[in-house]
Each structure stands twice: as C-alpha cells, then as structure tokens.
Structure 1
Amino acid sequence: MAITFFFSGSTSDDFDQSEDRRNLLPPCPDSPNCVRFTTSYNEKPETVFNAAKSVIQDMGAVELKTLEEPLRLNAVFRVFIYKDDFIVLIEEEASASHLHIRSASRVGYSDLGVNRRRVKRFIRKLEKELK
C-alpha cells in the first residue's frame, strides 16, 4: 500500500497582497522556500519595531540584529540543521507604519511551508502585541 503526501512550499501567493504596497526587501527566488509580505499599522514606527523585536525573541530566533536607521530587524531561525533568514523592515509614511517581511531558507528548494507558517505566526503574535 503506497501513501502519497503533497507538501506545499511557501509562496507569496499565500498572502493577501491587496494593499499593493511595494516591498522594499529583496525579491524571493523562483522557489517555494521564501515569502515576502507587506502590511500596515496605524501605529508609530518605533511602537511596531519594539513589538516586532519582542515577538521575534519570543519565537525563538537564534540570532537577532537590530538597526535603528532604517528600522530593521535581521533574525535567524534554525530548523534542524538549516538556517532561515527573517527580515523585518519598518517604513513610515503619513500616519501609517508599513511592515515589510521576508522569510527565506538559505539552502534547498522547498521548505515544506515553514517560512509561510512562520510569517503567519509572526503577524498573529504582532497583532496581539500591538493591542
């Protein structure tokens, strides 16, 4: 008896990009192991930055570097022996803070949806933190 599994990798199509903001982070390669996403919050950039930093630490990043100008967080997550890069960039425009995210595996082609799930979990936790 054979069992077939279908694993869906991470693609940016998994996220609603209806806001049509341009993401300032590097584009993803033509593979399903990378996600780019942009969303906006009616909060000060520093508030979003501090909340994002707290969430990334809570999610267990093995490395975290912060930059104040521009407001940027570079994190590394470990999945078994593999490392994934997770970047958050916050851009201020008028009364909104635009949050640009890029989560990508360093090696391989498919990540079995790890980056997609990480970004979704990050957004959920961030929105709780900002309440």
Structure 2
Amino acid sequence: MSRLPDLIEFPALKRPARPNNCLIAPEGFAGMVRVDETAPVFDKTPKQVFDVVMDLVLERVEWRLRASDPDTLRISFIAVTPLLKFKDDVYVQAVPVDGEAGRSSVAIYSGSRIGYSDLGTNEKRVKELLELIGTR
C-alpha cells in the first residue's frame, strides 16, 4: 500500500507508472513530472479557490480531510470509493496566475493507494473537482 505525506510539493511529486492516478496542473508548475492535462484558469483568487475546495471536502461524506494549509493554499483529503471502499489520496493546491490579479489555477493529484488500474476513477474525480471549482 502506497501512501504519500499529508501535504506534498507538486514539483517533487513522483508519479507511479501504474495508470491509477491523475495529475492536472498549470503549465510548468509540476516541475519535470508528466501532467495529464494543463489546468484551467478560474476567475477567482487563489484564496477563493482554496475556500471552495475546503467547502467541497467538508460537504462530501466520501471525502475525509487529511490536512490543509491556508498559507500555502494546499489541501489533502482521502476519497473513499462508494462500492469497495478503496482509499485514494487527493492533493490540491491553488496557484496564482502571474500578472492576473483575481485569477488563479489549481494543481490536483488523485492517486489510488492499491491496485494497478482504477478504471478512470481518479481522472473522473479530478475533472469533477475542476468543474465544481468553476461553477461555485
């Protein structure tokens, strides 16, 4: 069983070779690690994005807050799959957009603790989270 620390530094993230994880981040934010998609930009401040994600984590029964740091705008939580109760680790960091006050992006990593494939569960979770950030 693989488990990352409570909060991560995205540029230092080491992704497993297995297809049971997903990473979306602003261009260049994750250092040399491969990202699945470039993250969108939101018309929200980084603090607003952080607050939206915190609210979402606290609202969802299947998501359990692990750690949060409002100073670095990072959050981590455990997402429990409904049927088999697998635990996935999710890390989020709100990221300011250079030269654009009031706008921000986000880095999100979601990875399964066990197994080889996740049947797209982590990618779906990341995309759902992005959609929810954009609509709140």
| TM-score, with structure 2 as normaliser | 0.70
- What amino acid maps onto 1:110 in structure 2? S
Aligned length: 107
Q: Give 5+ residue unaligned stretches, structure 1.
A: 1-22
Identical-pair percentage: 25
- What amino acid maps onto 1:94 in structure 2? G
| TM-score, with structure 1 as normaliser | 0.72
1:3 alignment partner in structure 2: none
How far off is 1:25 after superposition?
A: 6.2
CA distance in 1, matches of 2:74, 2:59: 17
1:32 equivalent to 2:37? Answer: no
**Which structure has more strand as a fraction of its residues?**
1
**Deviations 1:85-110 (Å, cap 9, x if unpaired)?**
01001122332322000000011111
1:83 alignment partner in structure 2: 87
If you compute each CA radius of gyration, which structure gives the higher value, 1 or 2?
A: 1
Q: Mark the CA change 1:85 to 1:25 in structure 2 (over 3 Å): closer, same or farther.
A: farther
CA distance in 1, matches of 2:131, 2:60: 12
SS in 2 for 1:29: coil
SS in 2 for 1:41: coil
SS in 1 for 2:17: coil
CA distance in 2, matches of 1:48, 1:99: 8
1:56 alignment partner in structure 2: 57
Work out whether residues 63 and 76 of structure 1, in 8 Å CA contact, stay in contact via their aligned partners in 2: yes
CA distance in 2, matches of 1:25, 1:99: 16
**Deviations 1:70-97 (Å, cap 9, x if unpaired)?**
1101000112242100100112233232
Q: Which stretch of structure 1 is more off in the superposition, 116-125 or 100-109?
A: 116-125
CA distance in 2, matches of 1:63, 1:29: 23
1:73 alignment partner in structure 2: 75
RMSD of the TM alignment (CA)? 1.8
Structure 1: 4+ residue segments shifted above 3 A? none
CA distance in 2, matches of 1:31, 1:62: 24
CA distance in 2, matches of 1:51, 1:63: 14
Alignment map for 1:13-24 (pairs within 5 Å): 24=11
2:132 maps to which of 106, 125, 130: 125
SS in 1 for 2:115: coil
